[in-house]
Structures are given as C-alpha cells and as structure tokens.
Amino acid sequence: DTEVTQTPKHLVMGMTNKKSLKCEQHMGHRAMYWYKQKAKKPPELMFVYSYEKLSINESVPSRFSPECPNSSLLNLHLHALQPEDSALYLCASSQDRIGIREQFFGPGTRLTVL
C-alpha cells in the first residue's frame, strides 16, 4: 500500500459544529503532516507529528486540534471554525524526519464552513 487516504472527501459544517478529519497511511511512515491549502495557493504547513508526538505547530488557532492515535492514523478535530477556514485540508506522510525524506500527500478533504 503506497498511498495516503483521507476521509471525508467533502465536509460542510456550521460555525458551532464539531467535526473531525481523518488521515491514514500504511507505508510504515513515522512522520505525518497537516497542511491547509486555499484556492490557487500553495499548501501551508499546520502541524507535524514525528513518532506520534507533535513536533511542529505553525501557530495554528486552537479551534484546530490535531491527534495522532497511532503511527498510521492522524486526526484533525475542528471546533467553532470560521468561514475563512474553508479550504482543502491535506495530510502527508514521510518515512521519518531524519535526513531527507520524500513527503507523500493524500487527496485532501474539501471543507466548507457556513
């Protein structure tokens, strides 16, 4: 298995809702990433997990809460989002964070906040 999967593909939520995005990989990778991508812009790094521990938080608002339950799974919990948080949320993984490791992206979750 050489891919990163993300669910759901699309999500529409209100500003008072709580929802979660899920990412899964079975490549034995030990580093996992969340990115946010607005239309016609490059991906922006949000969080990095290395060996199931949070290693980078790019000053992301607390309404986004990441979780790494095990080495194959990465969740992003969403609460009290704003309309400007509407974007494509991408998950990526790499073998680890030692030396140079290629990052592989999932297809993304298209999030719309009403």
The footprint of another protein on this chain (CB under 8 A) covers a number of residues equal to 25
Residues 4-33 that bind another protein (CB under 8 A): 4, 6, 31
Structure-block tokens of residue 4: 């990163």
Query: Which member of 27, 45, 60, 80 binds another protein (CB under 8 A)?
Result: 45
d(C-alpha 113, C-alpha 34), whole Å = 18
Query: Which member of 1, 42, 53, 84 binds another protein (CB under 8 A)?
Result: 42
d(C-alpha 70, C-alpha 18), whole Å = 22
39 in contact with another protein (CB under 8 A)? no
d(C-alpha 22, C-alpha 40), whole Å = 24
49 residue type, one letter? Y
Applying CB under 8 A, the residues found at the interface with another protein are 4, 6, 31, 40-43, 45, 48, 56, 90, 94, 96-108
